[in-house]
Structure 1
């Protein structure tokens, strides 16, 4: 009993002495007296200047707790790297002695990191070379240091509460003219135990600004149940709800919401994203994916689905104006695709999409670094008239009367009416790098129906090539190849085309003509080149050759046979008693060949077969000046009464000249008129021939009478011989 009392007395004295020591330390030891020494030690070890301006407080038992206020750090002669308003931590000492890290609380408020890079590329957070070569610094890097023991790595962790408030990270890069701001970050978590799920709330605003442009701002808020299990290398976010607002991308704010689970297994080197629910301003989607091979070559593999939505309304809601000819266009859109993303590219395969009545399928690959975009698309049907305004509707829009609009119009048009406005985005073409193919079952444009449309397109190093392009149009077929070279100034453009059995009126409608000049079935081919980047440039630099053939055709508003009738009537000083039944010229067959030289089409051979007549001509069409000048010769070969008038058979077989001149913008009915001088010569020649014919007829009659008299005197055989001799003499 006595020994027990002695032991208890000794233990009591020991604890009493320990209590006195603690009291002494708390009363007599003031950590504020060591603020300068702490700063000196930090600078000796790291080269970093640490200044604790605010008060420090601490406690030892049963928890070791320390509080700091108003702290800043940075390297000498450089902008401050970090500032801290308040921080406190409370640690369970008995738990630490037993090998467990147990914090009752960790609080950080007002931590700001300012990371600056100047125009020379120097960073304010980089350790100065002198500090990094100091003996203290070298001692930390010498090979004698031992790695942390397995016991320390496996130390149990327990934190009752973490509270991070107003944490800010600012990055200013003067060299790249870029600013990034992260924060203020706020994080709350409680009951944190390794291997057990705990609640987590995080707000993480982000702002990115480059080249002085409008900043892109993201406001992120995350709520989830988080699990940290370093022993099994498992990290999970369950029941995740991430809400992000995005500003600076569109006129209106974007609201992105992601719900679901994220499971990271570092032993398997993968992250699972099972059935994440996505929503972007009402656009609903689902992502089911796995990120594999995290360390060596991370790649995301999975599928993405976008539910059907009214795309027109969605675009309007985010501030993008939509003006389309069809008010019901873009009202139904959806997509589903297999997805692969790695360090090199984004790949969409087994892509299926719907746009209104159109069904789209194919694949798409986009390199994330420098490389070539590749795509292959198939579309069952597409009516472009629902999405693109027709040229006719654009042309009939009323002109603005303001002087500003008039001046702008004057700058973009020439005297002949050709626009000088740029047609192709040169900068985009110069940087374009892609290869792809498109096939459409049915295509409608400018009310022209096409089928079996397909083409290949390739662009690289400033050159755009459209190859193997073909389409079925109005029971005809069109094939073409086009090339644009944007590397050269001015642009160089080439076009090769072949058209077979095509309805010409539809072609002219497709080209914007509201009054087709020629109807019929046509075949055309040619090779053309041009330079520049406007309609004015193209017309004035058009070179090459083309040929065309028309069957079952018609020249609208031009009746060549009627012009012959009027010419003959004029030459005979007569008046036509009736107008022609038709204002047009029917062509059973016609062909021409043209050589283009700086926009002027030189036509050396043009031939046509009309009803009861044929025609041939030559001349030129000056596209820059929009003028026509051609000589046409019409030969009457049969009955023309149904086309214009009845022409005396004696006029058949003769070439009747017409002169076709005028503006291409004028009335085609006024283009062609009889060549009066030519008609007069033809009629004079005809009259001379007719007089000779009549004189010969009278001569033959007189000779016949004389031969009858001679036959009575000379006898039959001798009379015939003399008659032949006389006729031969008079014919000479």
Structure 2
């Protein structure tokens, strides 16, 4: 038995010696340069391309399996140059490969150029020629490993690498897509490392220039960092990563500088990232990227920064310790993609003072014309200066159905203040959710012009509602100061006071007109300690009284307002028309009752007011309208009619005035008859009836 083992061992030793001798002798005996033509013919036969080996081919077998190539060129199937290589060399130690260890003494690539093109017919020049199909005998294929088996195999440790250095220099690639009229080129690309060994950090340095024609981009990109491979745990660490993007061919280029750390284990990633403050608007201009036309002009996006820690585990990505700044606005919080497949996003953000207006797109001429009357600046007429474009018709689609359908969001935000369209919300709290085509602002609480607002709104485009979305809103408003609010909403400049309101409305449609025409809901409102500016109801009633008495008003300094202690009522909105039947107000020396409607579709109103004098006079300073207390219950009619926003809407209701005068004349006739009877009977009718 011992002899047999010795004999087998001798055979193995002899085989090893033979292999070593062959590895030493073969490179001396066989010259690969003798097979250049055979290699080129094989490439031609298999791909239809032409390979030209113009330089020397070097090779070795033991102890290093090595190959070096010099001066190669390959032409595509149409005999046009596809690529070329100046020099390439690699040496791998042979025996460690048997134990899944890769030991490389040299990995070098220099002067690789590729000229890739998709022609007008959509054919790529790097695709090999199609070989004529030949009948093949079906062969039995091995069964595909089950997913669990594949996962088990892939979950093992990575091959152990030991590379002395990697040097890839002078790499140039051009890609032309003729149908798309686009050319992308990468020039002067390089990748260099130190020794790559398990558990030991190595320095990575790479850079390249990127140019694109559609859109036009010319930039230099570089990446540096310290990489630590851990093959046993299938993990890599990247520390002190520095990525920079710098525009080319410009003076004083603005650089996007990104720093960070990362740990990669399988498909899971964690780390942190920080973008140094930069002038984003200038960077985009220098990169020739389209800069959005924003209302803030060249004063926005001038100082932008970002920082966060991140983790990706399975189907989830978390961004923690998020900090970002845009000019004067800064925010902090967390953002998570809770389901990558469903693109579900959750967030919780806090921030300082956010002014949205400068970041809104510049309105078109039509939009400016439509919005001008609601602005406080500009000419007094409210007409858009420098533009003769007509106002928006309201038939433009304002509900982005596809965008809303794609949303899968749930989150909250708290700010110190929020300004939108000039409206200031103090310490707003916002909660939103959107999924399956139903987007809602479930909560909006904020201080609002010395009062508070609690509101919610939603847009539902799910199912059949995609063709006619449902838009809804509710609001509970308390003690809003209209005088303060009128600085932003011109239409409110004619009224002051503190308002309270409870609003619930719903409409359907894709355009502003469709929504307005279908608007339905209810509004309960009250206004206290206020005034109606531009109209003096006392003067109007005095004028009516004087007209009936056939006298003239002598007072000329009537205040241009009507003060009131309380005004309240309710409104029902049906198909875009708001109707009120119970308006009541306690004015200065008057009581007011009103009814009428406001057509939100046509922006018109027709409202009737009845004013009743409280007491025996309408004005202590105007004798022409003094009346006895028996006329105090007469309702003096006024009417407000016309287009919303116009002046001089309110005046005497001539139609109802005739009935009022008739009632007064009837009362006066009764009084005359009563007086004559009393004269003849020698006493008042009341006393006479009492005696009886």
Please name the residue that 2:419 is paired with: 444
Mapped partners of 2:97, 2:685: distance in 1: 140
Residue 304 of structure 2 corresponds to residue 354 of structure 1: no
Alignment of 1:8-87 (within 5 A): 61=29, 64-66=32-34, 68=36, 70-71=40-41, 73=43, 80=47, 83-86=50-53
Please name the residue that 2:5 is paired with: none
Alignment of 1:285-324 (within 5 A): 285-294=257-266, 298-319=267-288, 320-321=290-291, 322-324=293-295
Structure 2 unaligned blocks of 5 or more? 1-25, 78-93, 128-160, 247-253, 363-367
Residue 221 of structure 2 corresponds to residue 256 of structure 1: yes
TM-score normalised by L of structure 2: 0.73
**How much is the aligned-residue C-alpha RMSD, in angstroms?**
4.1
Please name the residue that 2:230 is paired with: 265
Please name the residue that 2:4 is paired with: none
Please name the residue that 1:641 is paired with: 619
Please name the residue that 2:133 is paired with: none
Alignment of 1:167-316 (within 5 A): 167=114, 195-201=163-169, 203=171, 205=173, 207=175, 221-229=189-197, 232=198, 238-245=203-210, 247=212, 251-281=216-246, 282-294=254-266, 298-316=267-285
Mapped partners of 1:358, 1:447: distance in 2: 16
SS at match of 1:423: coil
Please name the residue that 2:404 is paired with: 429
Mapped partners of 1:364, 1:643: distance in 2: 68
Mapped partners of 1:503, 1:283: distance in 2: 48
Alignment of 1:64-213 (within 5 A): 64-66=32-34, 68=36, 70-71=40-41, 73=43, 80=47, 83-86=50-53, 90-91=57-58, 96=61, 98-103=62-67, 105-107=68-70, 109-111=72-74, 151=98, 158=105, 162-163=109-110, 165-167=112-114, 195-201=163-169, 203=171, 205=173, 207=175
Mapped partners of 1:396, 1:517: distance in 2: 20
Question: Could you report, residue by residue, the CA deviation over 1:97-152 in whole angstroms, capped at 9, with x for unpaired residues?
Answer: x533244x3236334799xxxxxxxxxxxxxxxxxxxxxxxxxxxxxxxx999659
Question: Could you report, residue by residue, the CA deviation over 1:308-351 in whole angstroms, capped at 9, with x for unpaired residues?
Answer: 22233233333333543365333322222112235534431111
Question: Could you report, residue by residue, the CA deviation over 1:432-458 in whole angstroms, capped at 9, with x for unpaired residues?
Answer: 222221111122334443212011111
Aligned 8 A contact 2:112 2:171 in 1 = no
Aligned 8 A contact 2:111 2:170 in 1 = no
Match of 2:635 among 655, 658, 672: 655
Please name the residue that 1:382 is paired with: 354
SS at match of 1:471: strand
Please name the residue that 2:660 is paired with: 682
TM-score normalised by L of structure 1: 0.70
Alignment of 1:494-513 (within 5 A): 494-507=472-485, 510=488, 512-513=489-490
Aligned 8 A contact 1:85 1:110 in 2 = yes
SS at match of 1:581: coil
Please name the residue that 1:492 is paired with: 470
Mapped partners of 2:314, 2:475: distance in 1: 42
Count of residues in Structure 1 that have an aligned counterpart in Structure 2: 585
Residue 562 of structure 2 corresponds to residue 581 of structure 1: no
Match of 2:344 among 366, 372, 377: 372
Greater Cα shift, 489-498 or 81-90: 81-90
Please name the residue that 1:143 is paired with: none
Mapped partners of 1:169, 1:446: distance in 2: 51
Please name the residue that 1:536 is paired with: 513
Mapped partners of 2:530, 2:521: distance in 1: 25
Question: Could you report, residue by residue, the CA deviation over 1:494-548 in whole angstroms, capped at 9, with x for unpaired residues?
Answer: 11111111123455665x5366342221011121111222222222221111121
Aligned 8 A contact 1:301 1:341 in 2 = yes
Mapped partners of 2:440, 2:580: distance in 1: 30
Aligned 8 A contact 1:271 1:292 in 2 = yes
